[in-house]
Amino acid sequence: MEKNAFSCDWRNPKKQGVKNKNRFYKYRGNFTWRGIKTERYKSRGGDWSDIVRQTLIGKHGETVKFHVRYFEIEPDGYSSLEMHKHEHVVICVRGKGKVLVGKKRYDMNFMDTLYIAPHSPHQLRNPFDTPFGFLCIVNAKRDRPKILVKI
C-alpha cells in the first residue's frame, strides 16, 4: 500500500477503546421502545408542563455526534421558551402541536419537519385534546438552554 494512500478503515484515535455495539430497540406500541426509559423533560424548573422524553440514540454508549429523542407533550402542555447555541430538527410523529420559533408560529402535523437554527428562541405547545409527539435530533455536545420567560 502506498505511504499516503487513503483508506476507508480510518479510525478516530480519540475513540479507540470505545466499544460501540449495534443496538435494536423494539417498538412496543404507544410510542414506547423496549429498553428505553421514559424521563421527565427536565430535572427542574417550573417553565414547562406535561412533557416526557425518551432518548433513543445517544445515552447508551454510542459515539454519535447527535442524539435522537422522542418527546411527548400532553394536552395543554408546553416546553420552556428558550434559546441556545445548538440546533434542532423536530419531526412530528403523533398528533399535532404549535411551535414558536423566533417571531414565527407554525402548526405541526404528522411528518412535518422543522429545523431550529442556533440562537433561535423556541417553544413547543400542545393546545389540542391528544398527545403531541415528536422526534428531536440534536447535537450530542450542546450548551445549556437560556430560559427566556418563566410561565
The pLDDT tens digits for 71-119 are: 999 999 999 999 999 999 999 999 999 999 999 999 999 999 999 999 9
Catalytic residues: 136
- Integer Cα distance of 148 and 119 in angstroms: 12
Is 16 within the bounds of a domain?
Answer: no
**150 alpha-carbon distance from chain centroid:** 22
Is 8 within the bounds of a domain?
Answer: no
The phi, psi pair for 15, rounded to 5°, reads: -110, 5
Is 5 within the bounds of a domain?
Answer: no
Element (H, E) at 124: strand 122-125
Which has the closest alpha carbon to 125: 91, 53, 76, 54? 76
Which has the closest alpha carbon to 100: 130, 66, 123? 123
Is 10 within the bounds of a domain?
Answer: no
Q: Are 129 and 78 in contact (CB under 8 A)?
A: no
Is 14 within the bounds of a domain?
Answer: no
Q: What is the mean pLDDT of the chain?
A: 88
Is 59 within the bounds of a domain?
Answer: yes
Total residue length of the chain:
151
Count of domains for the chain: 1
Residue 15: pLDDT band (50, 70, 90) is low
Structural domain containing residue 141: 22-149
pTM above 0.75, yes or no: yes
Q: Helix H segments across the chain?
A: none
Q: What is the average pLDDT across 34-39? A: 95
- Integer Cα distance of 69 and 78 in angstroms: 17
Is 117 within the bounds of a domain?
Answer: yes
The CATH number of residue 107's host domain is 2.60.120.10
Is 11 within the bounds of a domain?
Answer: no
